[in-house]
């Protein structure tokens, strides 16, 4: 696609948003709404590289997954630290939204490990390339900076004040080198609903970044924070969505025409036959969502977690994260788990050409026999099939999509494919229901 064609395409999208900008849909908020989740390797994504093969994309995702989890333990800071380091390698899914009045299109990486939503803004001291125009707040009728003496400024990690009369400054640093500094601001944010009119959120608290760096060659506009902090998208939507959001991740090799969905409010309710629920935990000054994993089974072989998973700082011992590809277990649990899987699988062993995953087999067909794995969370047994537990790394080779880790254990997105995963922040539960996400 030529540059002229690309700009024409996005100009058309902006024109549509302009026409719809006055359709504030309180009905959508009350009844629930859904937005499209764009995988970073989708042709719809600003990160898409047409020269990469399917297996190069998988290799890159595995690398990002390891970087992200290795830095989870570095992702919170004391209240006195002016710069807040958050998770690295950002995430695997994006959302398209509009910002300002008149609205300008932007792409943000959805990150359950971030609280602040931020995007690049003019004037730029340092900005990375993005495929949509960089937002210019001086041209928006609804943009306002947030003052230093406000409770909002004081409640957000990573903020600072040069003086009591200045605007509230934020500074975020990601472990992969990505960073953003700028003004914490109020602006109108508009989400394009897949099941109704656009949803406009006035006075949305957002970081307007004037000094930004991203570690990849191709840049999106910034981050959309889905964490537990007060300024995350979920909490800013607040009572209008009843503290509920859910997502349904389509299988990795689904056609580009099929997308994952992120749901809010009544559209996010997970219920009915086959639904299981487990308590959701949090920790002080952390934005992550924690579950409590009691055991993991390979067929009928149950492996108890016991004291292997850390609980320092609060209840819950495992992060659930849509931005991490693999699932990570403590070294001792993983060792027993891999041995149990190896005893059950009758395929010919193979090696991962990426030298990342340790248990691999030759499998030319998309259908191959592997044991059902059960994640035993407190009060919820989640069944994981071959789609959730193995990934194809090259022609004829599949590997177990789990890794040992000395860092925080993490339930990754491959394990969550074709599962409707619902978060209820009022009841503090996460619910799971096996579905075909391509039909949601």
Q: Which residues are catalytic?
A: 111, 321
- Bridge partners of 171, per DSSP, are 181
Structure tokens at 237: 């939507």
Alpha carbons 307 and 178: distance in angstroms, whole number: 35
Structure tokens at 183: 């003004």
Edge-to-edge strands, sheet with 293-298:
301-304, 293-298, 373-377, 380-384
Cα separations (Å) of 200 from 21, 187, 188, 339? 8, 11, 7, 51
Structure tokens at 224: 């959309």
Q: What is the 3-state secondary structure (H, E, C) of the chain?
A: CCHHHHHHHHHHHHHHHHHHCCCCCHHHHHHCEEEEEEECCCCCCCCCCCCCCHHHHHHHHHHHHHHHHHCHHHCCCCCCCCCEEECCCCCCEEEEEEECCCCEEEEEEEECCCCCCEEEECCCCECCCECCCCECHHHCCCCEECECCCHHHHHCCCEECCCCCCECEEEEEECCCCEEEEEEEEEEEEECCCCCCCEEEEEEEEEEEEEEECCCCCECCEEEECCCCCCCHHHHHHHHHCCEEEEEECCCCCCCCCCEEEEEHHHHCCCCCCCEEEECECCCCCCCCEECEEEEEECCEEEECCCCCCCCCCCCCEEECCCCCCEEEEHHHHHHHHHHHHHHCCCCEECCCCCCCCCEEECCCCCCCCCCEEEEECCEEEEECHHHHEEEEECCEEEECEEEECCCCEECCCCCECEEEEEECCCCEEEEEECCHHHC
Sign of CA dihedral 27, 29, 30, 34: positive
């Amino acid at each position: 696609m030529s540059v002229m064609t690309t700009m024409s395409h996005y100009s058309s999208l902006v024109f549509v948003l302009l026409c719809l900008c006055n359709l504030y849909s309180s009905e959508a908020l009350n009844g629930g709404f859904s937005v499209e989740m764009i995988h970073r390797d989708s042709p719809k994504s600003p990160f898409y590289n047409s020269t990469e093969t399917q297996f190069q994309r998988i290799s890159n995702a595995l690398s990002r997954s390891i970087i992200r989890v290795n830095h989870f333990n570095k992702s919170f800071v004391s209240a006195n630290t002016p710069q807040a380091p958050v998770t690295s390698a950002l995430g695997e899914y994006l959302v398209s939204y509009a910002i300002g009045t008149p609205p300008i299109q932007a792409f943000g990486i959805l990150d359950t490990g971030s609280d602040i939503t931020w995007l690049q803004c003019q004037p730029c001291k340092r900005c990375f390339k993005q495929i949509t125009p960089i937002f210019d707040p001086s041209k928006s009728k609804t943009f306002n900076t947030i003052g230093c003496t406000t409770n909002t400024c004081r409640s957000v990690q990573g903020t600072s004040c040069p003086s009591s009369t200045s605007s509230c400054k934020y500074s975020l640093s990601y472990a992969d080198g990505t960073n953003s500094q700028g003004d914490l601001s109020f602006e109108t944010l508009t989400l394009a609903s897949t099941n109704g009119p656009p949803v406009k959120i006035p006075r949305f608290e957002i970081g307007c970044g004037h000094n930004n760096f991203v570690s990849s060659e191709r840049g999106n506009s910034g981050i959309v924070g889905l964490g537990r902090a007060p300024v995350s998208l979920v909490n800013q939507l607040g009572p209008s969505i009843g503290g509920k959001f859910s997502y349904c991740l389509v299988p990795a090799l689904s056609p580009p025409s099929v997308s994952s969905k992120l749901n809010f409010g009544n559209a996010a309710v997970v219920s009915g036959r086959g639904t299981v629920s487990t308590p959701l935990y949090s920790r002080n000054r952390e934005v992550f969502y924690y579950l409590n994993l009691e055991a993991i089974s390979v067929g009928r072989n149950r492996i108890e977690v016991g004291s292997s998973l850390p609980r320092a700082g609060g209840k819950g011992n495992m992060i659930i994260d849509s931005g991490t590809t693999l699932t990570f277990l403590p070294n001792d649990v993983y060792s027993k788990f891999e041995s149990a899987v190896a005893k059950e699988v009758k395929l010919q062993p193979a090696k991962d050409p990426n030298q990342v995953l340790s248990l691999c087999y030759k499998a030319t067909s998309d259908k191959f026999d592997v044991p059902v794995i059960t994640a035993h969370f407190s009060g919820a047994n989640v069944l994981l099939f071959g789609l959730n537990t193995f990934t194809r790394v090259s022609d004829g080779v599949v590997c177990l999509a789990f890794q040992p880790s000395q860092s925080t254990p993490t339930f990754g997105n491959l394990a969550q494919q074709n599962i409707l995963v619902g978060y209820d922040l009022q009841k503090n539960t996460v619910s799971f229901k096996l579905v075909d996400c391509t039909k949601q």
